[in-house]
Amino acid sequence: MGDERAGSTGSTDSTGSTGTTDSTGSTGTTDKNGHTDGNEWTIGFRGAECRLWLGSYNGLSVVKKERFVKNYRITELNTKITKERIRAEVRAIAKIKDKSPELGPLLPSILFVDQNNIIMTRIEDSVNVCQYLSDGQTDETIDELLVALGQTIARIHNCGVIHGDLTTSNFMINSKKNLLIPIDFGLSSFSTSAEDRAVDLYVLEKVIISSH
d(CA 59, CA 117): 18
Given the residues 3, 31, 165, 184, the one annotated as active site: 165
Whether 165 sits among the annotated catalytic residues: the reply is: yes
171-189: b (≥16 Cβ within 10 Å) or e: bbbbeeeeebbbbbbbbbe
User: DSSP labels for 3-49?
Assistant: --BS-PPP-B-TT--EEEE-TTSPEEEE-TTS-B-----EEEEE-SS
Q: How many CB atoms lie within 10 A of CB 140?
A: 8
- Kindly list the catalytic residues: 165
